[in-house]
Amino acid sequence: MSDSVNKNRVEVCFAPCDFHQYEEGFDLVVVIDVLRATSAICTAIEHGVKGIIPVATLDEARELQKEGYIVAAERNGAVVEGFDLGNSPYSYMNPELKGKTVALTTTNGTKAIRIAEQKKTVVIGSLNNLTSLCNWLVEQKRDVLVLASGWKDKFNLEDTICGGAITDMLIQSGQFISDEDSSVAAKFIYRSAKENMFAYLKASSHRRRLRALDLNADVSYCLTPNNVCAIPILKDGILVPLNEVAEKV
């Protein structure tokens, strides 16, 4: 395969439980949870939130709340009782959060971030920051593993579409190849979904879940590519704007 010489790999891992099968050799991971954790994180950083502390459990979230942090907590699509914020991207546009650090725990996304944090570089992806993220990834000249958060460790459609979008864009740059069937499938799924993702996801289990919670506006927002430029990056356990950390990550 002479055309693969000097190219980097981009691969998609469908769920955190599969991470151990895919992570070998990668030190740059993109975590995605399109509905809605990573879309909310990208939006928060874009709108001036200083940092997001990803927290895996509600107990940890309550501890940070006691310490005085603003704490956001979502489970099964709803804000958890006792917390002010969930993971609706719109709630992170609130000017009162500007310059503040927020702790966040969600059903899937924050757990995936914690699983990825053993790696040298962890950045946050979504359809919202797709082009800006991919442009940056191309510049890095490193292998890229996209970790989909899935739904309770199961494959989900919306994260796969986003992983496929990243894969497609990186391969089109001419700098990347994919080896894994999961990455090839994600790219195929993205290509057949991209003209009308909202309709394509009609059958998705999580969209049905959010529709029952009357969150269609959130879904529309999360499925809109390139409405933010921010690339959140994990630095000492906190997600901060990429442009605020050292040039070489």
Give residues in contact with a second copy (CB under 8 A).
14, 17-18, 21-22, 151, 153-157, 160, 178-182, 184-185, 188-189, 192-193, 203-206
Those residues whose C-beta lies under 8 Å from the C-beta of residue 196, and which sit 6 or more positions away, are none
SS3 assignment, position 98:
coil
Of 32 and 102, nearer to a second copy (C-beta) is: 32
Minimum CB distance to a second copy, residue 202 (Å) = 9
Of 84 and 179, nearer to a second copy (C-beta) is: 179
Minimum CB distance to a second copy, residue 211 (Å) = 12
Of 31, 225, 30, 232, give the one whose Cα is nearest residue 128: 225
Taking the mean position of all CA atoms in its chain, how far away is CA 144?
A: 14
Of 212 and 246, nearer to a second copy (C-beta) is: 212
Minimum CB distance to a second copy, residue 106 (Å) = 18
Minimum CB distance to a second copy, residue 16 (Å) = 12
SS3 assignment, position 38:
helix
Q: Omega before 191 cis (within 30°)?
A: no
Minimum CB distance to a second copy, residue 81 (Å) = 28
Of 177 and 238, nearer to a second copy (C-beta) is: 177
Q: Tell me the residue ranges of DSSP E strands in the chain.
A: 8-13, 28-32, 51-54, 70-75, 78-79, 101-105, 121-125, 144-148, 176-177, 232-235, 238-241
Minimum CB distance to a second copy, residue 154 (Å) = 6
Of 120 and 208, nearer to a second copy (C-beta) is: 208
Those residues whose C-beta lies under 8 Å from the C-beta of residue 138, and which sit 6 or more positions away, are 170, 173, 175, 176
Of 78 and 185, nearer to a second copy (C-beta) is: 185
